[in-house]
Amino acid sequence: MFDILQNRRRRYALHYLKQQETPVRIRALVEQVASWEYDTPVRELARKERHRVYVSMTQTHLPKMVDADIVSTDEDAGTVRLTEQAANLDVYLEVVPENDIDWPQFYAGVALLNVGLLSVATLNVPVISQAPDDLWMLAVTLVFLFAALVHNWFQRRNQLGTGGPPPR
């Protein structure tokens, strides 16, 4: 699986195919992969750019994915689609960009923030110390909820097959 996923064109192809519900024309797949690769709208792609991607997709990448039973092609119709086996790739499809959040440090910061909140709660500071324990528990819970939502948003943003262009 890692051999399949190590190539950017194959990852782009999987990203596009995961967004489609029906088989797609190989030409449409090639154009979209070329568009993402050259960071150019499909309508502005040069013939040479399309051709370069078409040759590598049809001679190398699609056959490799067919051999791995990740995609199937219908040569008569000129289409390609994901197979059921492709669902097994989901565990490998999270892309971690270079400048992504260091999640262990993020959660250490969340824990420190909660320690700070609870420390303030135990001090005898006027007004603050009068807040009920339930309010402090709610504050700690909301901090963890916010952390979980942030993590979920980042994870979905970096998953192949979600809407929009693929993560780089």
Integer Cα distance of 64 and 139 in angstroms: 52
**Are 146 and 107 spatial neighbours (Cβ–Cβ below 8 Å)?**
no
* C-alpha 153 chain-centroid distance: 10
Domain residue spans in the chain?
Answer: 2-92, 103-157
Average pLDDT, the chain: 84
Residue 25 phi/psi, 5° resolution? -65, 140
With b for 16 or more beta-carbon neighbours within 10 A and e for fewer, the 12-50 pattern comes to: bbbbbbbeeeebbebeebbbbbbbbbeeeeeeebeeebb
Class of residue 124 by CB neighbours under 10 A (exposed 0-12, middle 13-18, buried 19+): exposed
CATH of 2-92, one of 1.10.10, 3.40.50, 1.10.8, 2.60.40: 1.10.10
Q: Is the pLDDT of residue 168 over 90?
A: no
Q: Is the pLDDT of residue 98 over 90?
A: no
**Distances 102 to 19, 99, 106, 107, 139 between C-alpha atoms, Å:** 28, 9, 6, 9, 24
- Mean pLDDT calculated for residue range 34-47: 94
Predicted pLDDT at 153: 82
Digit-coded pLDDT (tens) for 58-88 = 999 999 999 999 999 998 999 999 998 887 7
**Are 16 and 146 spatial neighbours (Cβ–Cβ below 8 Å)?**
no
**Are 3 and 31 spatial neighbours (Cβ–Cβ below 8 Å)?**
no
Q: Is the pLDDT of residue 97 over 60?
A: no
**Are 93 and 159 spatial neighbours (Cβ–Cβ below 8 Å)?**
yes
3-state secondary structure (DSSP) of residue 107: helix
